[in-house]
Amino acid sequence: MRNPSSEQAFNFKKVYMSRNIGGYLVELLAKNDIDTVFGIPGVHNLELYRGLTASDLRHVLVRHEQAAGFAADGFARLSGRPAAAFVISGPGLTNILTAAAQAYSDSVPLLVIAAAPVRASFRKQWGVLHELYDQAALAAAVFGVARSAHSAEDVRDHLRLCLASLRTGRPRPAYLEIPLDVLAETTTLEAQRFDAAPLQPQASSDQIDAAVRLLTAAARPLVIAGGGARHAAAELQRLVETLDCPLVTTAAGKGLLAESHPANFGTSLPYRPIQQLIAAADVVLAVGTELGETDMYFTTRLPLGGLLVRIDVDPVKLSDQYAADVCVWSDAATALHSINQALTARSGWRTAIGGHAKFRAEIEAGLDAKTLAQWSALRAIKTALPWDGVVFTDMTQIAYFGNYAYPVDNPGQWFHPSGYGTLGFALPAALGAKISSPARAVIALAGDFGLQFTVNDLMTAVEVGLSLPIVVWNNSALGQIRDDMVAAGIPQLGVSGRNPDFVALARAYGAEGYRVRDAAALTDAIRTALTQPGPTVIEAIASSFEQ
């Protein structure tokens, strides 16, 4: 039998440790380095918010759950740290699915925590609030990991799996749902820190040796690198200098080499001179890239004329439509380091073909007035930003060209929603990035139509109070679709709509607003916006830049 003093201490500990499972989940997040939550409170996730009020986690109130996902995506892309998004059951989940799909296609670590209706109603179609027949199954079609927790132990174990998936192999968004009756239950489980060691596949020596043999024997080697090589820039530079070969990047790999480096042939897969160069290569080394349609936009398959070596953490990419002659299942930095150790420097194909200058000149010789106007604006943006400035773009013509033309010298300075191709990405993603790294200069670059998908989160940006220039490229149309209709001989329908007065709209939200008509004015407006304690909408009139 306990003595009175020990009994009192035991009861005190029990009372102190007992809290609802919503609070327990928040404690687990804090223990495992999640410090920011984007979301909207609702009747089904109130117990999560009870936990937030007792924690030091930062909560950012968004105006739409899709923006919660995009903001958490931008937070992770720039900082390398995952953030969480809290959503309600039903429409909260369906609203954030678009952002989750974007994170999935672009390999972004994103954690979504959702409420679910009470357990007793699952799959019974009682007509309860926010009912879906199988919410977890719907999430499983979009997220890399999707789990439903029905106890405190489930919350712990499933969250451990979700967080591990964000740093294991190819990152994918992770989903955890908790029924609202479970959220309200109490638990005395201690919040614990999970093992944070990153788990990456390691290539075998046979794989490395086979890659080295092909690259050594190649007379015309070429490297294509994507977002999976972002942490291997130094090893990649060493490789292309040793082999004296061209490097072509996807939009996600932009900045792996300095723009001026003679081996950097740019983000240029959509252009015929580069396609012809790839077809002429006898060995192509693809590092951390899907080689997807959205990396090239002219076909679903590159014209490979030689052998293919692939380095990827995703085993699916080693055996898809580009089944490789040599597969290296590994993270890029480790594999490239091992390959570099075995290579000998030589004078090669890049020197023979004269470096990137003539290829870029050929690409740029055929640019029309509209594209040159976009280039003028892109140069103005670059001039306005400090050397480490960051641009988050939307699905808009100026960004498609900017994938090629906007110069960056380091990875992680240009972000584009490549794979899933979602309109509305730029504003909330840039806001999330700015919250993650407030000392960095971050801007959003959107089209006039795309901005209107998520313009309501301009209010969130005003509340956050961080400097955020938002450049709106106003061509008074869904410009790419209009041009595609014209090219296909389709009468234009639904591609020209009335725009709001973006400057007046910005001021209605409590933001600054400017309208500019040339490059010099755009540079000045961005520089001014970077000094403001809140967001600034800068409407750039596209037609004026053509003059």
SS (H, E, C) 241-278: HHHCCCEEECHHHCCCCCCCCCCECCCCCCCHHHHHHH
Task: Provide the pLDDT for residue 2.
Answer: 41
Three-state DSSP at 283 gives strand
Half-sphere exposure of 280 (CA within 13 A, CB side): 12
Domains 19-187 and 367-545 share a fold: yes
Strand (E) or helix (H) holding 49:
helix 46-53
Task: Provide the pLDDT for residue 467.
Answer: 98
Taking the C-alpha atoms of residue 183 and residue 178, their distance in angstroms, rounded to an integer, is 6
Report whether 96 contacts 69 (CB < 8 A): yes
Mean pLDDT throughout 534-543? Answer: 96
- Percent of the chain whose pLDDT exceeds 70: 96
| Mean pLDDT over the full length of the chain | 93
367-545, what's its fold? Answer: Rossmann fold (3.40.50)
Could you tell me the sign of the dihedral formed by the alpha carbons of 121, 124, 130, 134, in that order?
Answer: positive
- Percent of the chain whose pLDDT exceeds 90: 81
Three-state DSSP at 494 gives coil
Confidence bin at 6 (pLDDT 50/70/90): very low
Tens digit of pLDDT for each residue in 372-414? 999 999 999 999 999 999 999 999 999 999 999 999 999 999 9
Domain residue ranges of the chain, discontinuous segments joined by +? 19-187, 205-355, 367-545
Confidence bin at 17 (pLDDT 50/70/90): low
Q: DSSP string of 501-530?
A: -HHHHHHHHT-EEEEE-SHHHHHHHHHHHT
- Cα–Cα distance list, 492 to 349, 423, 477, 479, 510 (Å): 46, 20, 11, 11, 36
- Residue 65 tokens read as 């759950």
Report whether 178 contacts 149 (CB < 8 A): yes
Tens digit of pLDDT for each residue in 46-56? 999 999 999 99
Q: Which residue has the higher pLDDT, 67 or 317?
A: 67
Q: Which residue has the higher pLDDT, 356 or 428?
A: 428
Mean pLDDT throughout 492-496? Answer: 87
Q: Name the CATH architecture for the domain at 19-187.
A: 3-Layer(aba) Sandwich (3.40)
The alpha carbon torsion through 114, 117, 122, 125 (nearest 10 deg) reads -120
Q: DSSP string of 369-409?
A: HHHHHHHHHHHHHHHHS-TT-EEEE-SSHHHHHHHHHS--S
CA 407 to chain centre: 19
Residue 198 has pLDDT above 80, yes or no: no
Tens digit of pLDDT for each residue in 512-531? 999 999 999 999 999 999 99
Taking the C-alpha atoms of residue 373 and residue 526, their distance in angstroms, rounded to an integer, is 18
Task: Provide the pLDDT for residue 219.
Answer: 96
Report whether 418 contacts 508 (CB < 8 A): no
463, with CB counted inside 10 A (0-12, 13-18, 19+), is: middle
Tens digit of pLDDT for each residue in 262-298? 999 999 999 999 999 999 999 999 999 999 888 887 6
Residue 75 has pLDDT above 80, yes or no: yes
Residue 20: strand pairing partners: 186
Task: Provide the pLDDT for residue 476.
Answer: 87
Residue 5 has pLDDT above 80, yes or no: no
Task: Provide the pLDDT for residue 10.
Answer: 40
Tens digit of pLDDT for each residue in 104-139? 999 999 999 999 999 888 888 899 888 999 999 999
Closest CA to 322 of 277, 279, 291: 291
Taking the C-alpha atoms of residue 183 and residue 46, their distance in angstroms, rounded to an integer, is 9
Task: Provide the pLDDT for residue 14.
Answer: 42
Tens digit of pLDDT for each residue in 451-468? 999 999 999 999 999 999
Indicate the residue type of 211.
Answer: A
Q: DSSP string of 410-468?
A: STTSEE--TTT--TT-HHHHHHHHHHH-TTS-EEEEEEHHHHHHHGGGHHHHHHHT--E
Closest CA to 228 of 344, 115, 334: 334
Q: Does domain 205-355 have CATH number 3.40.50.1220?
A: yes
